[in-house]
Amino acid sequence: MQVQLTNRQQHILWATVSHYIATAEPVGSKALVEEFNLGVSSATIRNVMGALEKSGLLYQPHTSSGRVPSDSGYRIYVDQLMTHNQSLEKEVEAALQGRLKWEDWSLEALLQGATQILARLSGCVSLITMPQNNASVLRHLQLVQIETGQIMLIVVTDGYETHSTLMDLPSASEDNQPDVELIDRELQIVSNFLNSQLRGKSLMELAALDWSQLDQEFQRYGEYLKTSLVELTRRTFSPTNTQIMVRGVSEVLRQPEFSQIQQVQTIIQLLEQEQEQLWHLIFDETELEQINKPQVTVRIGSENTLETIRTCTLISSTYHRDSIPVGSVGVLGPTRLNYENAIALVSAASEYLSEAISNQQC
């Protein structure tokens, strides 16, 4: 959502979100004057809050009440206004290292311990997926010209499974018919390069290829191939273990947002009986493009594709074995949560699990 806010609007939106997260009560101008040094009158704050409401960043749950942040308001707060709690992240890493001894623990015990600690520190439902252990290893890759202007990428794994995807020839055009024999020779050279770089590696490492090592004259294939390789990985990668370790349900259900029994029941059913739906959301396959660059993903309210959790926020990040994303760690709570702390907790947990998993012989 593209909304241009003045400095004053940003400050008052930040204050409104901060106050609502802390109190769970609709926010009025008087509360902001008393709690924050905004340097403006209550009337000015009311006017600004009215403008923020017209922009869709705040809303009034009742006519006579104050205002609360919308999903869009939280999004701007997370992306532009909040500060990242790096000190907490270091504290969490130290806590995990102090309480979890990956050298002495089994993998399952390690993940269970991390899930419990994350739930207690975040006050949310904590979710950690079991790592995927069956990453297919690449045996052979080949680029084949199918017809004018179109190429097929064929991948054969160590289990002799074959996967393929089509891509358009980068230089093809109706006005300039390509030299078929020249393209065949070029494709063989690029295929040789792919095999030398990727043979013996995981299918999920396809997107991590260093294209700068490809000769300049073949660079035109790079971006097209990268897109095709990522898409191929997404289509062919399927989890073999959808188990998610869950802790903290009783804690988060005490929040006022979960006062309705029907909502509680649907969330519990999702966590206990429909984990496969949640697995595909928490283990974000778009992060295959970010190998070696783990990032925290924040899905706020209506941004969640599952209807069951569209009143919740899901914060997640992948953890890695060496350079390969094999699982995910996350927290699920109301949209009114302490985003700074939750993001720092998820980031620290994913970093710790990546180190622990990479050092264990799983």
- Residue-level pLDDT at 362: 46
Q: What is the pLDDT of residues 240-295, one digit of tens each?
A: 556 889 999 887 888 888 877 777 888 888 888 888 888 878 876 555 555 555 58
- Residue-level pLDDT at 240: 57
pLDDT beneath 70: ranges in the chain:
1-2, 102-104, 133-136, 170-178, 203-211, 215-217, 219-220, 223, 233-242, 284-294, 360-362
Domains, the chain: 7-81 (1.10.10.10), 86-132+242-360 (3.30.450.40), 137-237 (3.30.390.60)
Between β-strands 68-69 and 58-59, what pairing exists: parallel, antiparallel or unpaired? antiparallel
Q: What are phi and psi of 316, to 5 degrees?
A: -145, 160
Sequence letter at residue 175: D
CA atoms of 79 and 328, how far apart (whole Å): 22
- Residue-level pLDDT at 339: 96
Is the distance from CB of 65 to CB of 74 less than 8 angstroms? no
DSSP annotation of 337: S
Q: Write out the DSSP string of 166-216.
A: EEE-TT--SSS---HHHHHHHHHHHHHHHHHHHTTSBGGGGGG--GGGS-G
Long-range contact set of residues 117-120: C-beta below 8 Å, sequence gap at least 24: 117/349, 118/247, 118/248, 118/329, 118/331, 118/345, 118/346, 118/349, 119/247, 119/248, 119/251, 119/331, 120/248, 120/251
- Alpha carbons within 13 A on the beta-carbon side of 100: 26
C-alpha distances in Å from residue 147, one per residue of 59, 166, 181, 248, 301: 56, 11, 12, 56, 46
- Residue-level pLDDT at 193: 84
Is the distance from CB of 157 to CB of 233 less than 8 angstroms? no
Q: What is the pLDDT of residues 26-55, one digit of tens each?
A: 999 999 999 998 889 999 999 999 999 999
CA atoms of 272 and 93, how far apart (whole Å): 29
**Token couple for 196:** 């030398």
- Residue-level pLDDT at 44: 95
Burial class (CB in 10 A: 0-12, 13-18, 19+), 44: middle
Is the distance from CB of 288 to CB of 311 less than 8 angstroms? no
CA atoms of 319 and 305, how far apart (whole Å): 22
